[in-house]
Structures are given as C-alpha cells and as structure tokens.
Amino acid sequence: MAQIFRPAHVLGLKLAFLLVIGILSVGSVAVYKALGGPVAPGDAAQQPIPFSHKHHVGDDGIDCRYCHTSVEKSSFAGLPATETCMTCHSQLFTDAPMLAPLRESAASGKPLRWTRVHDLPDFVYFDHSIHLAKGVACVECHGRIDEMPLTRREATLEMQWCLGCHRHPEEHLRPREDVFSMQPARVTAASSPELLRLLALLPERRREDCSTCHR
C-alpha cells in the first residue's frame, strides 16, 4: 500500500496539532482567570464589599460559626446571607458608603455575589465537618484570618500540600474545643489522650487513598 503522507508531512501535522492544543490551553486559562479563576496564594480577591476579618474576628471577636453556619455539619462552610450581615448593620454604620451593596441586597432580595478565595476544583472532595471533628483547626488551612483586613489565600491548596497534612496529621491536630481558635495549639498529639485517640481512628492507608479526596 502506498504511503499517503510523507514522514515530513506527518511531523508537520503533529507539530501543528501540539501548537493548537497549546494555544487552546493558554486561552482557556486566561478566560478562566478573567471570569474569576482561582485566587493565587497571597492575593486578595475582589469582593462586592471589602469585608475585613481583622475587624470582625480579630477586633470584635465574632465566632467563625456566626457567619459560616454550616461548617460543623456540612462539607461546605457556607457564606453569610444578607440577613446575617443586617443583624448588625441595620443598626451600625447604616450610612457607610462601602455598605451600599449590602443595603441594596437587603432591599432587593438579591444575594451578594461573594468571590470564593478558597475554591477547590470540582474533582476534589473536601468536607469541612470531617476535618473539624478530627481536630483540624481553621487556622491550619486559612491562616491567621483574624489578622487579614482583606481575605487572602495563604495555602497553596495543591495536592502535595494536602498530602503533607494527611501523612503527618499529628502535627496539625488540636482538641476540638480549640479548632476555632486562631492562637497556637495549647497541646500536641503527643501530650493529649484525646488527640492520640483521634489519630488511632485515622487509618494510614485511607489518609492517602485516592478515593478519599477524588470521588
């Protein structure tokens, strides 16, 4: 059978195919970022209101669970509804210009569109409630959010970063009553019977099993 394409032609087609794939890949990443793609570590996302965790958590002492109501019982922490914000701001700073979007949301019933700072890909399964129940504190993933005037992503959220904690959980666990504390852990797994018991309930194989995070 006669060869239809010469080797040089085949090579040219392969190179052209790779070039098209490369252009499409770069273009899709650019479009994704333009549409609000992942926030890079250290960067603060654009939000409808410049919400300050430093003010609300660090200065006023508001508990994480007041705004993130589902964090202890669901896979997602949840974002505060306008009504939650208005429990305070119907009385405080009622004419502040920066809170105009909040007042408009309350009047129209249209929710604020907050930008997720910690947004995992769809192929990654993460459950907040499980991690909290095992003694993983908020600060382990979110950093000292009580010191952030604007919320930024501190952790890379990459697979190796997650595996580092899964392989050595004893370095990241604390008593359950301290999981919402922003302060350094008071005790370690080596000195806490409760944490030693939690470690015993974390089979080493399951910590690194692909199906644990990819379902």
Is residue 51 included in any domain, yes or no? no
pLDDT at residue number 5: 60
- DSSP H helical segments within 1-90, as ranges? 7-34, 53, 64-67, 82-89
Distance CA 202, CA 215 (A): 19
The model's pLDDT over 130-147, given as tens digits with 9 standing for 90+, comes to 999 988 999 999 999 999
pLDDT at residue number 86: 97
Is residue 99 included in any domain, yes or no? no
Is residue 18 included in any domain, yes or no? no
Domain span including residue 132: 118-213
Q: How many CB atoms lie within 10 A of CB 90?
A: 12
The model's pLDDT over 35-49, given as tens digits with 9 standing for 90+, comes to 445 678 888 889 999
How many separate domains does the chain show? 1
pLDDT at residue number 29: 42
Is residue 106 included in any domain, yes or no? no
Q: Are 207 and 169 in contact (CB under 8 A)?
A: yes
pLDDT at residue number 197: 76
pLDDT at residue number 28: 42
With a cut of 50, which residues of the chain have pLDDT below it?
1, 25-36
Distance CA 130, CA 206 (A): 14
